[in-house]
Structure 1
Amino acid sequence: MPARLNQLDVSTPVGIAARVTASARTTASRMSPDVEGWLDGKRRQPFESTIIPLDELTEPNGWRYAADTGNLEHHSGRFFSVEGLHVRTNHGHVREWWQPILVQRDIAILGIIAKEFDGVLHFLLQAKMEPGNADLVQLSPTVQATSSNYTQVHRGTRAPYVEYFTEPDRGRVLVDILQSEQGAWFHLKRNRNVVVEVTDDVPLHEDFCWLTLGQIGRLLQRRNVMNMDARTVLGCLPIAGPARGPDGEDAYEGAPPDSTEPDGLHTMTEILSWFTGRKSEYELSARLVPLNSVVGWRRDTEKISPEGSGNFSIVGVRVNARTREVHSWKQPLLAPHGLGLAGLVVRRIGGRLHALVRAEVLPGNRDTVELGPTVRFMMDDYAGTPAERRPEFLDHMLSARQGVLYDVVQSEEGGRFHYAETRYLVVEADDDFSLRVPPDFAWMTVEQLLALQRHSYYLSIEARTLLLCLNNL
């Protein structure tokens, strides 16, 4: 049996925040290829990901609809399943609904190997094909695999480098945190976000490359290059605030990422009290039910889709990818209807950069509430949503013409979602933007958010991406 990750040395490395910050300021390296040209070459490989009727998934040793529930599941009982969810809550405009949801009980390893070259930390990333990726190939963690994958339930080859995360004494742990994924689409999903620093030589496979955090920061300015799993792991690294402020000057040199001093609008104690209050305020019953009992959805030979308006459908894909552990397979994917928006308002308060975050209630959250961005919204709903029912601050973000610090479309996880794209937007407000905000919102310094991100289930995956992008401007 492989050793568990918690057998690794988990002592806190001394000075890691300063070393990560130095890597964020290094934008060239002799260890790195021409990344854009290298990725273009990987994308020219003969990959295939084709939408097929959902009924074509059901075959021996493939997927099946369970006779008693109608749940769409793999014959092995592993990987993931599509089940039904019945939700009741006292939060928001809609208090009850039914929906399909992805259920994945395996805890995936999202692991990145770090190594120092020329005195600077580099991170080993993979050019990985996923069937739901826009452009198919994106940069992913060194290892991105569920236990079903790395124990080879699929009967394919072993994922490269997985032994660095399953065997003891391979390196020193810099990050090791359980984090959530999309609470609107996954039920209680969590992944192990791990960074392990090594000193020994690491053999370099052809689909992998070493990059500094500064090089990664530049790639975050490009659409659909850095995949969601790489963003969430890198976002957990301790960094001494943003490497540079918007004016190019040092933003807050020397501020420790775990600072609890009252340097912001609120102390950390006040923030935790507010967050606990939000959790106590809202009731959420999210009960798994048979997929064939879900109200307002229909299943035909092609897909599972809402009977009226809705944000997603369940579709099938056929995949061929010679670079993957299994070269061909079929699977279901959740296909969102249009582009999402994850927007963050930031403002300088007392000379320190604060972000306006929201206590977000989602049915798949493990503890009801996580800290999300200022706004999270499916843009296809905009025209049909009355102004009074649109999220607070949505129109402010969409109308911003000045102070836009970041505005790039990024993909969500291509192994479970089909062409799920989100516009990540960071807008800096001026001093006229009110500090008084509705009860579900709070101003937090970037350092306070970094401190919370080093613990499980505080920041949503969209908030973690926005914080990574903000720290690498």
Structure 2
Amino acid sequence: MKELLADSPYVPEGFRRWFEAARKTGYAQVERVPLDSVQGWDCGPDAPALTHRSGRFFSVEGLRTSHSRGAVPCWDQPIINQPETGILGILVRWTDGVLHCLVQAKAEPGNINGIQLSPTVQATRSNFTGVHRGKSVPYLAYFQNAPADRVIVDVRQSEQASWFLRKRNRNMIVETHEDIAATEGFRWLPVAEVLGLLRIDDLVGMDLRSVLACLPVADAQHSTRNITRTITRTGVPRGPVTTAQIRSWLTAARSEIEVRTEQVPLAELEGWRRGPTAITHESGRFFDVIGVRVRASGREVREWAQPMIAAHGTGVVAFLTTRFDGELHVLVHQRVEPGFVDVVELGPTVQCTERNYDQLPPAARPLFLDDVLKAPADRILLDVTLSDEGGRLFRTRSRHLLVETDQRPDHPDFRWMTPAQLSALLRHSHYVNMQARSLLACLHALRAPAVPVPTPGQGATRT
């Protein structure tokens, strides 16, 4: 990480110094422990679900899913159940005509590299109501009591619905006119600078990417500077299909596809085994449920233990891109995941972990996966590996790809859309899944300028 920050043209010197200092004071020391020794949790071998003794936070439960159109029509799995709506909030202000946002360098137990950039507020209801009996959440009041005319974004969005059961977070962007100081571990950064940092592996956390994707975009052709200056304007989507047609296409799928889920005891999950330290799939694929003990700084609580999900292998999330009449479009997919609130959401062209398909039927292999993985280097617009949510997922990450293509695939489960159309749908809940939001933030990053390299005698770039 240190070398990447030093060598990248997208990392201003001032940010690099601040982040390196934050890494010295912020940490999350994580030790894997057997599940039945996770303190404060009921995780015994015969427990029907892994639950916290307070009855709050989250649980890991068994889920049986059937899918009327799936290549695999029925499967069992553990899943995280957290029936709370958390807050993911970014505080923004204008400084010298430039939109800035308040971010934090946050230590999470599942983070690669210890700390990553997070929103101003990233908290579950259990956190901000004090169930953990720890410190209060900084800056929370700006989001709980925000005046209506200061709220730029306020919408509930899904979590990663393959691992979270109907989990939603309130994604918020709130503008302030106050001169609010950045406390330890926080920093005001230009939005364009944060978008540029998305080009660095495992630096910008998933929750920050989710909220950045919800930033209103007036037009997909605008530069990053224009995106931030037109933050309150509404774009007019254009393209092969209208936004109304996309919504109708999605509504039809939600009406026709049947997805049934049934919560079952963990011990009854077909194909899963409870070992001495973890819950694993008998194939050695997919993911494990593990236990960890954590010591952290810069958190509301300094020590705790919990179960986590640890995926096998690095995922792939990708948009195929093309241009219609000179305008950029991305190929979206109707995704069905067991944890969605409403059956289907729009996802990337490709969203998978390739090794998981070794033992599945050939029909289950994702369409366009080979187009993405075998793309010539000159057709790859962006290739960066970014971490998933670090509070419940242990060192789980996905390779993010934006790949140009001259193909015009015609498939009933896929549609071409402009980034502006996706952005318009993000003003509503449960249309665009987490992985597609992450890629949309990466699309914004393509327009973020590199940091000018100072010539001798000019000094460091201002941050």
Choose the corresponding residue for 2:268, options 290, 293, 297.
293
Matched, 1:308 2:308: no
- Counterpart amino acid of 2:398? T
Corresponding letter in the other structure for 2:179: D
Q: Is the deviation greater in 290-299 or in 216-225?
A: 290-299
Shift, 1:300, TM fit: 2.6
Asked whether the equivalents of residues 260 and 268 of structure 1 are also in contact (C-alpha less than 8 Å), the reply is: no
Deviation for aligned residue 1:381: 2.7
Counterpart of 1:19 in structure 2 is none
Task: Determine if contact 2:192/2:225 at 8 Å carries over to the other structure.
Answer: no
1:33, 1:209 within 8 Å by CA — same for their partners in 2? no
1:243·1:250 contact (CA, 8 Å) conserved in 2?
no
Q: Give 1:13-52 correspondences, 5 Å limit.
A: 34-45=14-25, 47-52=28-33
CA–CA distance in structure 2, aligned partners of residues 265 and 443 of structure 1:
7
Find out whether 1:470 has 2:443 as its counterpart: yes
Partner of 1:75: 53
Q: Deviations over 1:51-110 (max 9, x none)?
A: 1211220x4xx1013898521010111100000101111122100111100000111110
- Name the structure 2 match of 1:428: 404
Give the letter for the 1:275 counterpart.
Answer: L
Q: Aligned equivalents of 2:341 and 2:226: distance in 1?
A: 37
Structure 2 residue runs without a partner (length 5+): 1-8, 447-463
Cα 1:257–1:361 shift into 2, 3 Å: farther
Equivalent position amino acid for 2:410 in 1: V
In the other structure, the counterpart of 2:424 is: 451
* Root-mean-square deviation over aligned CA pairs: 2.6
Q: CA 1:240–1:260 in structure 2 vs 1: closer, same or farther (change >3 Å)?
A: closer
For 1:185 and 1:327, the matched residues in 2 are separated by 26
1:137 — aligned with what?
115
TM-score (structure 2 length as normaliser): 0.88
Residues 1:134 and 1:440: Cα distance change in structure 2 (over 3 Å): same
Report the equivalent of 1:378.
353
Q: Is the 8 A contact 2:152 2:232 kept in 1?
A: no
CA contact (8 A) 1:264 1:444 kept: yes
* 1:98-131 deviation per Cα after TM superposition (whole angstroms, max 9, x unaligned): 1100000111110111111112110000000000
Q: Which runs of 5+ in 1 are unaligned?
A: 1-26
Contact 2:36 2:45 in 1 (8 A): no
Shift, 1:283, TM fit: 0.5
- Match for residue 35 of structure 2 among 54, 58, 61: 54
Tell me the secondary structure at the aligned position of residue 195 of structure 2: helix
State the TM-score, normalizing by the size of structure 1.
0.86
Measured against aligned partners, the alpha-carbon deviations of 1:233-265 in whole angstroms (never above 9, x if no partner) come to 1110112334667xx9999x999974456x310
2:219·2:236 contact (CA, 8 Å) conserved in 1?
no
Shift of 1:299: 1.4
Q: Distance in 1 between matches of 2:333 and 2:348?
A: 6
Asked whether the equivalents of residues 217 and 234 of structure 2 are also in contact (C-alpha less than 8 Å), the reply is no
Distance 1:387 1:28 in 2: 41
Relative to 1, partners in 2 of residues 1:28 and 1:360: Cα closer, same or farther, differing over 3 Å?
A: closer
Task: Answer whether contact 2:33 2:291 (CA < 8 A) is retained.
Answer: yes
Asked if the contact 2:35/2:43 (under 8 Å) is kept, the reply is no
Alignment correspondent of 1:437: 410
Q: Does the aligned pair in 1 maintain the 2:217–2:230 contact within 8 Å?
A: no
Q: Is contact 1:257–1:450 with CA below 8 Å preserved after alignment?
A: no
**C-alpha deviation, 1:168, in angstroms:** 4.7
Letter in 2 for 1:65: C
Distance 1:227 1:280 in 2: 34
Q: Are the equivalent residues in 2 in contact too, given 1:49–1:318 (CA < 8 A)?
A: yes
**CA distance in 1: counterparts of 2:276 and 2:120, whole angstroms:** 37
Q: Distance in 2 between matches of 1:56 and 1:118?
A: 54
Matches within 5 A, 1:26-425: 34-45=14-25, 47-57=28-38, 59=39, 62-65=40-43, 70-169=48-147, 172-242=150-220, 258-259=234-235, 263-381=238-356, 383-384=358-359, 388-401=363-376, 402-425=378-401
Could you tell me which amino acid in structure 2 is paired with residue 79 of structure 1? F
Q: Residue 47 of structure 1 contacts residue 322 of structure 1 at CA under 8 Å; is this kept in 2?
A: yes
Paired residue secondary structure (2:55): coil
Q: Tell me, in whole angstroms, the C-alpha distance in 1 between the residues paired with 2:306 and 2:346.
A: 31
Alpha carbons of 1:361 and 1:469: their partners in 2 closer, same or farther (altered >3 Å)?
same
Asked whether the equivalents of residues 111 and 165 of structure 1 are also in contact (C-alpha less than 8 Å), the reply is yes
The answer (yes or no) to whether the contact 1:343–1:424 under 8 Å persists in 2 is yes
Q: Kindly indicate whether residue 439 of structure 2 is the aligned counterpart of residue 461 of structure 1.
A: no
Please give the alpha-carbon distance, in whole angstroms, between the structure 1 residues aligned to 2:230 and 2:96: 23
Change (3 A) 1:363 1:386: closer
Moved more, 293-302 or 135-144: 293-302
Q: Is the 8 A contact 1:243 1:471 kept in 2?
A: no
- The answer to whether the Cα contact below 8 Å between 1:170 and 1:198 also exists between their aligned partners in 2 is no
Whole-angstrom distance in 2 between the partners of 1:257 and 1:468: 18
Give, in angstroms, the shift of residue 286 of structure 1.
1.2
Deviation at 1:353, TM superposition (A): 1.1
Contact 2:63 2:261 in 1 (8 A): yes
* Deviation at residue 379 of structure 1 after TM alignment: 2.5
Shift of 1:169: 4.1
